[in-house]
Amino acid sequence: MLDEINEIQSDLAQLIRLALAEQTEDVRLFVARLVRKYRNTDPELAEQMDLYLRAKAPRSSTPLRKAAAQPVLPTQTLPVDDESRLSLLKVFKDEPSREQPLLSLDLEETLSQLIQERRQTERLASMGLSPTRSAIFVGPPGVGKTLTARWLASQLGVPLYVLDLTAVMSSLLGRSGSNLRAALDFSKRDPCVLLLDEIDAIAKRRSDDADIGELKRLVTVILQEVDEWPATGLLLAATNHAELIDPALWRRFDLVINFKAPAMPAVKQAIKRFLGQDYALFGRWIDILAFVFNGESFSDIERDLQRFRRAVALSTASDADLIEEFVKSRALVLERQGRIDLAVLLAKQTRLSQHTISDITGVSRDTIRKYTSEQPPIAKKPSKRKPDA
Ligand SMILES: Nc1ncnc2c1ncn2[C@@H]1O[C@H](COP(=O)(O)OP(=O)(O)O)[C@@H](O)[C@H]1O
Ligand SMILES: [Mg+2]
C-alpha cells in the first residue's frame, strides 16, 4: 500500500516536472507509459488517461501509434478551465457489450423504457412526442448512479460526458458560470449523454461560502440549460443528497430515478459478480457474506471482496481465515438478535466449532446450542449438531 503511494507520488512528480518544462511530447510518452502501467491495477484511471491522450492531437510528426490508429475525438477539443487547466468534462466511450450494472427490477424497466424511447424517436415523433430529455438519479453513494449513466450511454451508442462540478467551482470567482456554459455548449453539439455528477456539490457550498451570488448564478445557468437541453442528447444528474437540491431544479427534470442500497437477492448477485472466478473458492460462504453485507452499498461490497481476492491470490491468508476475521469484525456492530442469527447461520453452514462461533459472534455456546437445537437444520441428517468432519 505504502509502496503503491510512493510509486504514484514519484509518477506524479515526474509528470509535473515534464509538464512544467513544457516537454509536451515527453509528457505524452510518459502518460502513454502510465496507461500501460495502470491498465491492470487501475483500469479506469488508465482508460481515462488514454482518452485524454487521444483527445489532444499530437503536435509532432511521430504520433503515438495508438493515437494515430484510432482518433477518438478528432474534431473538437474538450473545454478546459482557463485557470486550473483541469478538464471540465470526463469522457467515456464504452462498447455496447459493457456489462449491465446490477439493478432492481423496476429500475431496469425504467431504464429500458428510456433506451427504447431513444431507439424509436421517429415513432415517437410521428405521434408528436419527444423522448425523455432529462433524468435525475437519487440515492446513497456507491449504488451505481455514475456506473448506470455510463452503461446507458454505451447502450445508446453515444459518448458519456461527465461534468466535474468540483472543477467548475474551483475556477475563479465569476468564471464558473461561463465554464459551465462552455462545457454544456460543447455537449450539446453532438448526441451524447451528459452527466452532471454530484450536483449537490453546488448546494453544499452554498451554506458555507461567501460568494453566494456566484453560486446562485451557477444554479441559474443549470436551470436554464436543463430547460433548453435538446432532445438529441440525454441530460442526467446524480446526487447523494436529495434534500440539498433546489426545488426549482428538481421540478425541471423529466424523470426522477431512485437508486437504493441492494436488497438481499441483489447482495448475493453482487457477491457472485464481484468474486468473479474466485466464486469457486468463496462460494460456500455466500449466505454468511450476504448476511454481513446486508444493507451495504455495492461499492463497499466490491471493495471488501477485492481485498479478499488479493489476499488469497498472494496466499497471505486462507479464505476461511479471511472470512472468520471479517465476520468477527462485523458481528461487533450487530444487535444481540443479529449476532444470534449470525451464530445460527455459522453453525448451520460451516464446520466451525461452537467454541469458534462463540468467539466470532460473542454469543455464548449455551445460547448457540439452544437455538440450533430448537431449529434443527433442514438437511437430510437429523443430527442436532453439525458433524465436525
Ligand atoms: N448497481 C451496481 N452494479 C454493479 N456494480 C456496482 C453497482 N453500483 C456500484 N457498483 C460498483 O461500485 C462502484 C462505484 O459505483 P458508482 O456508480 O460510482 O456509485 P454512485 O455513483 O452511486 O456513488 C462502481 O464502479 C462499481 O464497481
Ligand atoms: Mg457517483
In this prediction, residues 304-324 reach a mean pLDDT of 92
72, pLDDT greater than 50: no
75, pLDDT greater than 60: no
Residue nearest to atom 7 of ligand 1 (CA): 144
193-197: strand order across its sheet: 89-92, 160-164, 193-197, 234-239, 134-138, 255-258
236, pLDDT greater than 60: yes
Confidence of residue 258 (pLDDT cuts 50, 70, 90): very high
Ligand nearest to the CA of 300: 1
Closest approach atom of ligand 1 to CA 103: 1
Is the CB of 262 inside a 6 Å radius of any atom of ligand 1? no
385, pLDDT greater than 60: no
Handedness of CA 185, 188, 189, 195 (dihedral sign): positive
Q: Where are the domains of the chain?
A: 2-69, 89-258, 264-374
Beta bridge partners of 196: 163, 237
> Average model confidence (pLDDT) for the chain?
84
Residue nearest to atom 27 of ligand 1 (CA): 299
90/80 Cα distance (integer angstroms): 11
Return the higher-pLDDT residue of 167 and 71: 167
184/180 Cα distance (integer angstroms): 6
Q: What's the pLDDT score for residue 16?
A: 84
- Contact criterion met (CB below 8 Å) for 138 and 79: no
Among 5-19, 149-163, 166-180, 244-258, which stretch is predicted with the lowest mean pLDDT? 166-180
In this prediction, residues 18-36 reach a mean pLDDT of 79
Q: How far is the CA of 55 from the centre of ligand 1 (A)?
A: 26
376, pLDDT greater than 70: no
pLDDT, tens digit, 9 for 90 and up, residues 79-118: 776 655 557 788 999 999 999 999 999 999 999 999 999 9
Is the CB of 299 inside a 6 Å radius of any atom of ligand 1? yes
Residue nearest to atom 4 of ligand 1 (CA): 101
56, pLDDT greater than 80: no
From 100, 146, 147, the mutation candidate for ligand 1 (largest count of ligand atoms within 8 A of CB) is 147
Pick the CATH number of 89-258 from 3.40.50.150, 3.40.50.300, 3.40.640.10, 3.40.50.11540: 3.40.50.300
Q: What's the pLDDT score for residue 67?
A: 39
Residue nearest to atom 11 of ligand 1 (CA): 299
Among 80-94, 102-116, 328-342, 352-366, which stretch is predicted with the lowest mean pLDDT? 80-94
252: cell is 425541471
Confidence of residue 64 (pLDDT cuts 50, 70, 90): very low
Long-range CB contacts (< 8 A, 24+ apart) of 27-32?
28/53, 28/58, 28/64, 29/64, 32/64, 32/66
pLDDT, tens digit, 9 for 90 and up, residues 271-301: 999 999 999 999 999 999 999 999 999 999 9
pLDDT, tens digit, 9 for 90 and up, residues 185-231: 888 888 999 999 988 877 666 555 556 777 777 888 888 888 889 98
346/291 Cα distance (integer angstroms): 10
114: cell is 428510456
Distances (CA, A) of 15 to 42, 97, 283: 18, 34, 43
b/e for 6-28, b at 16 or more Cβ within 10 A?
Answer: eeeeebeeeeeebeeeeeeeebb
pTM of the model: 0.74
Q: How far is the CA of 300 from the centre of ligand 1 (A)?
A: 9
Contacts with 344 (C-beta within 8 Å, 6 or more apart), sequence order? 368, 371, 372, 375
65, pLDDT greater than 70: no
